[in-house]
Amino acid sequence: MHLLSASCVCVCALLFTALPLQVSGLETVVGMYGETVEIPCKSGAINAEDVLITKWKYNKGEGLSGDLLVKQRDQPFLVSATNEYKDRVSMAANSSLLLSAATLLDQRTFTCMMVTGADITENPVNVVIYKRPTDLQISDKAEELEIGKLTKLGTCIASNANPAANITWLKNNKPLVADGKGISIQAEVSVDALTGLSTTSSLLEYSAEKEDTDAQFTCSTQPTVGAEMLSSPATFTITYSTENIVLQVSAQEPLLEGDNVTLKCLADGNPAPTSFNFHLKGELVKVENADSYTITNVSRDTTGEYKCSLVDDPSMESSKDIIVQYLDITLSPSGKVTKSLDETNTLDINLQIDSSAKATVSWTKDNIKLEKEPKFTKLSFSDSGRYECDVVMGLLSRKDFFELVVEGAPVIKQLSKQRGEDGQHKVLFCEAEGSPKPAVSWSINGTLLEASPFINGKITHKIMVVPTANLTVSCTVSNKFGTDTQAIYVSSLFEDVRVDKQDQSQGSDQTKLVVGVVVGLLIATLVIGLVYWVYMKKTKQGTWKTGEKEDGSSEEEKKLEEKVEENSQKAEV
């Protein structure tokens, strides 16, 4: 027995100095925790028939051994153990030790001792008990992951295993490897004092990226025996703070006074911000649970810079300019303007434009475009009319007008005469300016051929007369401001001589004017004769003169010539 003990000490020394599983020459049996372990007894070359006694014992440590059971040939085995092994050991027919309900305390050396006739052989077997983790799960999961911020994502726990589990973290089934920056893994193993089982916990700290929104995080372990274990997957809400903020202004175009403008602050981030600060030209308005602010009834004072920013990060801001368009014009004078004609009379036009941008101005007078703004340094009757200004700025336009009436005593501009085409009458023209419309009267009774409309302060009267004697005809124009008269000398049909205004002798001549066909015919015959004579004389001399001296009479002369020619031809027939 002394010898046996010595060999045991040797084996034990080996067991504790080297790794138990790699003890050379020592057979190792692996048993599963809680199950029955069969520890074979290697009889080697010994014939089972020769074995007298088979005995199982175990190494108690500290060089001691304990008996488990013993069997003598042709007898059933007897349990010799008195401790906790008493109820757990039995022997198979082939001498294997059957150890039920294995625990980690059973990880020791069991020795099968056989006694034959002369020899005693010992066959030690090392027992190792494995246990898969009871459970593999992720606990202490993060509420959410913030992008770019190293966060404790969770702890993976592989509980009660032997040997201790090695945990691998996976993202979408791909292993995560600690990189010292975005991924950090710290594993910790704790051993249960009672059972000796190990619980591994692995803490993953992870810095999320935007793409991690639907990523599945799992942890796995490959136990020493059996299939790989995988935890149920965990997904996380990926949060990130606002990176972009935009202020949107919705208003109609163009934005005018009285309109409404809505400011809307758009910001990203998960979760998105729910409160905003609106900076309304310096005034700060905080809006909660909403992202917009409406300015009603804007005015030109609303124009300015607007901003929105995050309540908790004022540096995140966006700004926009709001421009309220307006166009106000003041035209002076405006409406109806009456001015009396006076050499010194001027009219100042003042068009004031108050607008948000440069406006263009155009003018019309009586719907006819003017090249520039009207200027009246010296008023005349023809300045009368409706002046309209049209001011345009973008889509806005304003109009105003003034209607100018220049009033004053009438003036005769021209008094003239013309011989009628048939030579039987004369046509007198009286052209006058004045306002209001002057009344025109003649010193003789003629036939009114035409009274022009009163435009730009001008009026023209045209009458037909048949003078039977030399007479002076006067035209009189008058309105409430005064009267003007001019006279013209009208010779009896054949001698037209104009007299100067100073030589006027009015009134008495009118009685000499007789309208008579017989007299007319007689005179006409005379005229033809006279004119024919003159014509012949002119043809010989190459020159022709009449007593006519009045302005613009060349036209009259020509007509006269033609008339004479025509008449002379008639006479010849």
Ligand X SMILES: *[C@@H]1O[C@H](CO)[C@@H](O)[C@H](O)[C@H]1NC(C)=O
- Nearer to ligand X by C-beta: 345 or 492? 492
Tokens 């080996």 label which residue? Answer: 14
The pair phi, psi for residue 289, each rounded to 5°, is 55, 30
If binding is defined by CB under 6 A, does position 470 make contact with ligand X? yes
Residues sharing a CB contact under 8 Å with residue 442, sequence separation 6 or more, in sequence order: 428, 430, 461, 463, 473, 474, 475, 476
| One residue of 232, 235, 274, 445 binding ligand X per CB under 6 A | 445
In the numeric block, the tokens 């804007």 are attached to: 298
- Residue 95 CB, nearest distance to ligand X (Å)? 8
CB of 495 to ligand X, least distance (A): 5
Helix or strand holding residue 463 (H, E)? strand 458-465
Question: Taking the CB of residue 151, how many other CB atoms lie within 10 A of it?
Answer: 19
27 is a site residue for ligand X (CB under 6 A): no
Cα 370 from Cα 301, distance rounded (Å): 35
Query: Residue 344, Cβ neighbours under 10 Å: how many?
Result: 6
> Is there binding between residue 356 and ligand X (CB under 6 A)?
no
> Terminus-to-terminus CA distance in the chain, angstroms?
191
Residue 40 makes contact with ligand X by CB under 6 A: yes
Give whichever of 18 and 48 is closer to ligand X, judged by the CB atom: 48
Closest distance between ligand X and the C-beta of residue 33, in Å? Answer: 19
Interaction of residue 96 with ligand X, rule CB under 6 A: yes
Sheet of 229-230, strand order: 174-175, 167-171, 217-221, 229-230
Single out the residue of 94, 244, 414, 505 in contact with ligand X (rule: CB under 6 A): 94
- Which residues 251-270 are close enough to bind ligand X by CB under 6 A? 258
Asked whether position 100 contacts ligand X by CB under 6 A, the answer is: no
Query: What is the nearest approach in angstroms of ligand X to the Cβ of residue 11?
Result: 22
- How far apart CA 89 and CA 58 sit, in angstroms, is 12
**Tokens standing for residue 36:** 């029955």
Only segment of 89-97, 230-238, 309-317, 423-431 that touches ligand X (CB under 6 A): 89-97
C-beta of 42: minimal distance to ligand X in Å? 8
CA distance 39 to 37: 6
Q: Please report whether residue 239 would count as binding ligand X according to CB under 6 A.
A: no
- Give Cα separations from 413 to 176, 225, 422, 442, 521 (angstroms): 110, 131, 27, 15, 35
- Among the listed ranges 92-100, 152-160, 196-204, 272-280, the one in contact with ligand X (CB under 6 A) is 92-100
Dihedral angle computed from the Cα positions of residues 532, 536, 541 and 543, in that order, rounded to the nearest 10 degrees = 30
Instruction: Note whether 92 binds ligand X by CB under 6 A.
Output: yes
Map the footprint of ligand X across residues 492-511, applying CB under 6 A.
492, 495, 497, 510
- Two structure tokens written together for 346: 């001027």
Beta strands in 480-558 (DSSP E): 482-490
Q: Which is nearer to ligand X, 153 or 477 (CB)?
A: 477
The number of residues that bind ligand X (CB under 6 A) is 17
Q: Taking CB under 6 A as the rule, does residue 93 contact ligand X?
A: yes
Among 491, 493, 498, 553, contact with ligand X (rule: CB under 6 A): 491
Give the nearest distance from C-beta 434 to ligand X in angstroms: 24
Per CB under 6 A, 297 contacts ligand X: yes
Stretch of residues binding ligand X (CB under 6 A), selected from 60-68, 116-124, 204-212, 489-497: 489-497
Q: Decide whether 547 or 552 has the Cβ nearer to ligand X.
A: 547
- Residue closer to ligand X (CB basis): 281 or 386: 281
Which residue, 36 or 414, is less far from ligand X as judged by CB? 36
* Smallest distance from ligand X to CB 418, Å: 19
Question: Which amino acid is residue 309, in one-letter code?
Answer: S
Least distance to ligand X, CB of residue 125, Å: 11
| 170 versus 469: smaller Cβ distance to ligand X | 469
DSSP for 274-329, written as a single string: -EEEEEETTEEEEEES-SEEEE-S--GGG-EEEEEEESS-TTSEEEEEE--B-EEE
Stretch that binds ligand X, among 144-152, 381-389, 399-407, 491-499 (CB under 6 A): 491-499
By CB under 6 A, is residue 469 in contact with ligand X?
yes
The window from 71-79, 91-99, 455-463, 473-481 that contacts ligand X (CB under 6 A) reads 91-99
What does the block give as tokens for 172? 């979408």
Task: Report the residue number, 400 or 548, with the smaller CB distance to ligand X.
Answer: 548
- The window from 86-94, 118-126, 318-326, 422-430 that contacts ligand X (CB under 6 A) reads 86-94
- The reply on whether position 48 binds ligand X by CB under 6 A is no
Give the CA diameter of the chain: 199
Beta bridge partners of 331: 351
Q: How far is CA 531 from CA 408, 470, 537, 562, 564, in A?
A: 46, 19, 10, 11, 6
DSSP secondary structure string, 380-425? -GGG-EEEEEEEEETTEEEEEEEEEEEEEEEEEEEEEEEE-TTSS-
**Three-class SS state of 115:** strand
196 vs 131: CA distance, rounded Å: 11
Minimum gap (Å) between residue 385 Cβ and ligand X: 37
Q: Applying CB under 6 A, does 10 fall inside the site for ligand X? A: no
Cα separation of 102 and 110, whole Å? 13
Q: Quick check: 299 binds ligand X (CB under 6 A)?
A: yes
The DSSP symbol for 147 reads B
Q: Which residues bind ligand X (CB under 6 A)?
A: 40, 92-94, 96, 258, 297, 299, 444-445, 469-470, 491-492, 495, 497, 510
